Amino acid sequence: MPSPIELPDIPDAERTPLIEQLVALIETLAETTQRQAETIQQLRDEIAVLKGEKGKPTFKPSGMENQSDADKKEDSTGESTGKRAGSSKRSKTPDVPIHEECVIPPTEALPPGSRFKGYRDVVVQDLKIEAHNTRYRLEVWQTPDGKWLCGERPATLQGGHFGPRLRAYVLYQHHHCHVTQPLLREQLLEWGIDLSVGQIDALLSGHNEPFFAEKDQLLEVGLEVSSFITVDDSGARHQGRNGYVTQIGNDFFAWFSS
């Protein structure tokens, strides 16, 4: 199997756009060649097994190699992989959805007779977090008979003053990422979102009926489509009696929720 290509270190002063393009092309070709070599070896091993032969054996390092080389990295077992750190890289253009495209022409003026040869795509992943405040101007009308009519906020707001994405973020950070309420408030204030301690507590503890309804629906669907469900792993006695089980299908199946 061919050894990975190790590119020399190129000083920043010499990294012209043409050099950057050639380096990216070499790395892409090297990764493609490496994958092709691995696929070819796998096919050879499969053919050998079908012929009754043995595939290529895998030899583990003896552990006697000199480990003083700072460029060698170790795997999860502590053994040296023999590869330069960073030599096994993923593609620099990951398969992610594109939300915005920017066409950038060369900085130098194009001489007469230049021909357009397409684009060199560079995908840059970033995160956009910013405050987004909306003022809903609810129209107020009075009918000839004296009745007042007023517009209503979208149902997704559930009558509150915070949007669904903000509520989802607060719930996710607190319950899934274990971010405390003081740290969560400090973070939101830095982003320009004005939330008091009481408002954060209300977002975490109130207006959670849709989540409870979804949980109940999951249980009902699970009971309908599943032939075996375990609700707990406890075999404790209940009211001084044995025999209660936690697997559905038994006559003494029992469960509780809180």
Which tens digits make up the pLDDT trace of 193-243? Answer: 988 888 898 888 877 777 778 878 887 887 788 776 666 555 566 666 665
Q: 49 near 42, Cβ under 8 Å? A: no
> Structure pTM?
0.47
Element (H, E) at 148: strand 148-150
Distance CA 84, CA 86 (A): 6
**Residue range 152-174: mean pLDDT, rounded:** 88
**Whether residue 103 has pLDDT greater than 80:** yes
Q: Cα 234 vs. chain centroid, distance in angstroms?
A: 34
pLDDT tier at 135 (50, 70, 90 boundaries)?
Answer: very high
Name residue, tokens 């070709």.
Answer: 29
Collect all residues with Cβ–Cβ distance below 8 Å to 144 and sequence separation of at least 6: none
80-84 and 72-74 strand pairing: antiparallel
pLDDT tier at 151 (50, 70, 90 boundaries)?
Answer: very high
Q: What is the pLDDT of residues 109-129, one digit of tens each?
A: 989 989 988 888 888 888 888
Residue 140 has what pLDDT?
Answer: 94
Q: What is the pLDDT of residues 10-45, one digit of tens each?
A: 777 777 888 888 888 888 888 888 888 888 888 888
Distance CA 227, CA 224 (A): 8
